[in-house]
Chains A and B, each alone.
Chain A
């Protein structure tokens, strides 16, 4: 049974010169990627055939796992007339893989703490402090759509509340985490939770009563925010921090 989405994509691809110049076997391989690669294919079909002074000639190779895909293109520089290859990687879900940000806690209108997640990253094989977020997360008005349930439950538990309510969410704009390697474009955000009525603090017997969820949540006093920027190596946390410090939403100086 023909897949209408793929037929539509095939039509879009057939208008692109680099696709026309790609070997038929590779054209077929691309169009028969599993269905959950649709968003990636949509992005690919929307790519320009000319990037500044570079003409994209053909697709030479694709390689993919269960989540990631990379593409090797043959390109020609219109400055030097040299032909060479360029490649990049993408999530199968495309170039907009969710959002990352910082959650701040405030009491009577004053920011008192911020949250960080500590977990083992498979890619880097290290334990890292990082921003909070997810592949399908989207800041929307005063809620974080698709906030992973286990993350929400963990925050609620630590704050001693039944439901997580954000008083304010600031969209801090887009970010490209690694422009040389991937087409990733994630949203950055800052979210605020009022804890005037909540008794916060990490419970000492926490892990005895709650099963591990793959990360540990830490609640740090806002006075540690700037020193923490030397400690975390997470590009997203550092970027959201740069934007929130520029926004003047929080008076960091008064906490030093």
Chain B
């Protein structure tokens, strides 16, 4: 496909951007699909609010070719307060057809956080696991969910996964302190690669029985308000197979799968 050269208007526009956006503009201009995109859409990408920086950064890394698919241009961009969907025009070299492809991203980009399961160990053996039940807005139901969530980045946390995970777990469980004996980094997963760019971390955290006693004492009167809507379950490990059948949260199931493969737990 022919490639357009950047217009003077675009060049002049980039001079009005803050330094970080100028860098991203330069990176985006290395991509043919961005050069072929209408000026109004180019501008709307680069003028997204600051908290969309992660999404714009991911976009600047998007190649011109994916397998036998050529990305021709960005056709449309729709955004909410947290989510954003770019719609691309693409050309298949296999079928010689032009069509569109799209995906959804959190504004903070492809690495939004971490999800995990907390296990309780007593005398060297895993005896319980912890699940939470919480209302999930997208499905409009109260349901089981893995522990975790979107990172609230601070400078020191960015490079410190264990600290970030500890912070997430403490917040979710409404604890002031939490001593994690062992943190098992289970890598990253694609949550739904047909729909989203999401590629969060998954983990298992092991705490000892004493820590669990603190969690079991949690009740509505002494925890932070934001965790009032969670129901915390401490479940004997013998019931794990029953929960695998009944919990539909794919993060929970993926964590179990990796733990079984690593022989950290068994059924």
Chain A interface residues (CB < 8 Å from chain B): 47-48, 51-54, 61, 63-68, 70-73, 75, 79-80, 85-91, 95, 119-128, 130, 135, 173-185, 211-214, 226-227, 229-230, 233-236, 238-239, 241-243, 245-246
Contacts and interface: CB of A to CB of B under 8 A. Distances in A.
Nearest to B196: A123
B69 A70 contact: no
B225 A80 contact: yes
B1 interface: no
A238 B258 contact: yes
Interface stretch (B22-30, B60-68, B203-211): B60-68
B72 interface: no
Contact of B192 (A51, A86, A184, A226): A184
B254 A238 contact: yes
Nearest to A79: B228
A31 B158 CA distance: 43
9 closest A-B pairs by CB:
A63-B78, A88-B138, A123-B103, A52-B135, A239-B253, A238-B254, A229-B261, A120-B67, A177-B192
Nearest to B62: A125
B85 A65 contact: yes
A183 B196 CA distance: 13
Interface string B89-126: 01010100000111110100010000000000000000
B260 A128 contact: no
Contacts of B253: 175, 238-239, 242-243
Interface stretch (B7-15, B37-45, B161-169, B183-191): B183-191
B83 A87 contact: yes
Nearest to B200: A178
Contacts of B197: 123-125
Contacts of A66: 87, 100, 102
Interface of B: 61-63, 66-69, 76, 78-83, 85, 87-88, 90, 92, 94, 100-104, 106, 110, 135-143, 145, 149-150, 187-199, 225, 228-229, 241, 244-245, 248-251, 253-254, 256-258, 260-262, 267
Nearest to B63: A125
A242 B256 contact: yes
B67 A233 contact: no
A179 B225 CA distance: 22
A70 B195 contact: no
B191 A178 contact: yes
Contact of B257 (A88, A127, A183, A245): A245
A49 B136 CA distance: 13
Interface of A is mostly: mixed
Contacts of A211: 94
A87 B225 contact: no
Contacts of A121: 190, 193-194
Contacts of A122: 66, 69, 88, 90, 101, 103
Contacts of B90: 122
A243 B12 CA distance: 56
Contact of B229 (A52, A91, A214, A239): A52
A133 to B, nearest CB: 9
Contacts of B142: 51-52
A127 B195 contact: no
Contact of B191 (A86, A88, A119, A177): A177
20 contacts: A48-B140, A51-B140, A63-B78, A64-B78, A89-B138, A120-B67, A120-B69, A121-B193, A122-B101, A124-B199, A176-B249, A178-B196, A178-B198, A179-B138, A180-B150, A181-B104, A182-B138, A182-B196, A233-B187, A246-B241
A70 B78 contact: yes
Most buried by A among B66, B80, B81: B80
A70 B104 contact: yes
Contacts of A125: 61-63, 66, 197
Contacts of A52: 135, 142, 229
A167 to B, nearest CB: 23
B257 A241 contact: yes
A233 B225 contact: no
A235 B191 contact: yes
Given A65-B78, A122-B69, 18 more contacts: A52-B135, A65-B100, A70-B83, A79-B225, A85-B80, A91-B195, A123-B193, A123-B196, A124-B110, A177-B192, A179-B143, A179-B145, A212-B94, A230-B258, A234-B193, A239-B257, A242-B256, A246-B245
B191 A181 contact: yes
A245 B262 CA distance: 13
A233 B245 contact: no
